[in-house]
Amino acid sequence: MGRLLAFLRLYGWALGSIVLLVAVYLLPPDTSLSQIRRAGVLTACVPASRPPLVTGDAEQPGLEIELLETIAAEIGVRFRANTIATMGEDFDPSLWRVTRAQCAVIAGGLLDSPATRGFLDVSPSFAESGWMALTPTAGESLNGRTAAVLANVAGANRLALSRFLRDENVAIRLMRTTDDVAEALTSGTAEIAITDALYARALAAELGYALTPLPPPLEATPLVFGLWKGDLTLKRAISGAFARIRADGRLDALVEKYLGD
């Protein structure tokens, strides 16, 4: 009886292994990279404007546009940006109604976070962003202040920000755009502003405000490109391109051009 049970267990293990191998063999091949090379173009979905990553300016198109142009050249194809009006309207990328038919890459300020990875795969990181406060002068306390908060940043940790602001007794006024933030600050309806570092840097330069990074874990999150899950050959090609342009200094040069030190 013992020998029979041992035989059945061995037989079951062997049969399971064979079924698994057959299932893997029957999986459709990943053709993501070959399709792009056949078409001769790497497409990316981008918002209409997300300075300094996407600007809409032909002379200074933005960090992510120039970086994707460089990556496409490394892969041996052209680059084309497809502007998607819904991108940036919501902090959840899954609500942007972006599809594979529109693009192979999603750009425009995605952060590498659990929220992003729940919907997309991601590229290597090329820079960082994070929550930042704008105050009239440097080092001011946020406690008890009224803040214009722009939080429509894809993949950002909004819950951690909400807890921090609640602990600091900050009164929150939610904003939809950077223009709304500027209006709130200049009109006096908000004393300070909270948004991500890229928006904050531009607003501080425009309005003459000081910048204050928020404490961990709010201060720094990697910026990435979004890739469709399962596009492994394309991901490997993009990762290889990243490695080459990082090694020869081109990546650092682009980051410094648009973000400074």
Q: Which one-letter DSSP state was computed for residue 78?
A: E
Dihedral angle sign, alpha carbons of residues 251, 129, 132, 51 = positive
d(CA 59, CA 75): 23
Instruction: Provide Rg for the chain, Cα atoms.
Output: 23
Average pLDDT over every residue of 227-245: 97
Question: Which pair of structure tokens corresponds to residue 52?
Answer: 């300094």
3-state secondary structure of 161: helix
Q: What is the pLDDT of residues 99-135, one digit of tens each?
A: 999 999 999 999 998 888 988 999 999 999 989 999 9
Taking each helix axis from N to C terminus, what angle separates 250-259 and 232-247, rounded to the nearest 10 degrees?
A: 80
- Residue for token pair 């006024």: 173
Residue 243's CB is within 10 A of a number of other CB atoms, namely: 13
Average pLDDT over every residue of 9-23: 45
Average pLDDT over every residue of 30-52: 94
Predicted confidence band of residue 61 (pLDDT cuts 50, 70, 90): very high
Predicted confidence band of residue 18 (pLDDT cuts 50, 70, 90): very low
| Pairing assessment for the beta strands 105-111 and 41-46 based on DSSP bridges | parallel
Would you state the pLDDT for residue 89? 65
- 116 versus 234: the higher-pLDDT residue is 234
Would you state the pLDDT for residue 139? 84
Would you state the pLDDT for residue 204? 93
Q: Tell me the pLDDT of the chain averaged across its residues.
A: 87
Percent pLDDT > 70 in the chain is 86
Q: For residues 234 and 72, is the Cβ–Cβ distance under 8 A? A: no
Would you state the pLDDT for residue 149? 96
126 contact partners, CB below 8 Å, separation of at least 6: 63, 67, 223, 224, 242, 251, 255
d(CA 82, CA 107): 10
d(CA 100, CA 43): 10
Predicted confidence band of residue 168 (pLDDT cuts 50, 70, 90): very high
Would you state the pLDDT for residue 250? 97
Would you state the pLDDT for residue 90? 64
3-state secondary structure of 215: coil
Going along the chain from its start, the domains and CATH numbers come out as 32-128+221-259 (3.40.190.10), 131-213 (3.40.190.10)
Give which of 166, 161, 155, 168 is closest to 219, Cα–Cα: 161
d(CA 35, CA 237): 13
Would you state the pLDDT for residue 188? 95
Q: What is the pLDDT of residues 81-103, one digit of tens each?
A: 999 988 866 666 777 788 999 99
d(CA 204, CA 151): 17
Q: For residues 209 and 193, is the Cβ–Cβ distance under 8 A? A: yes
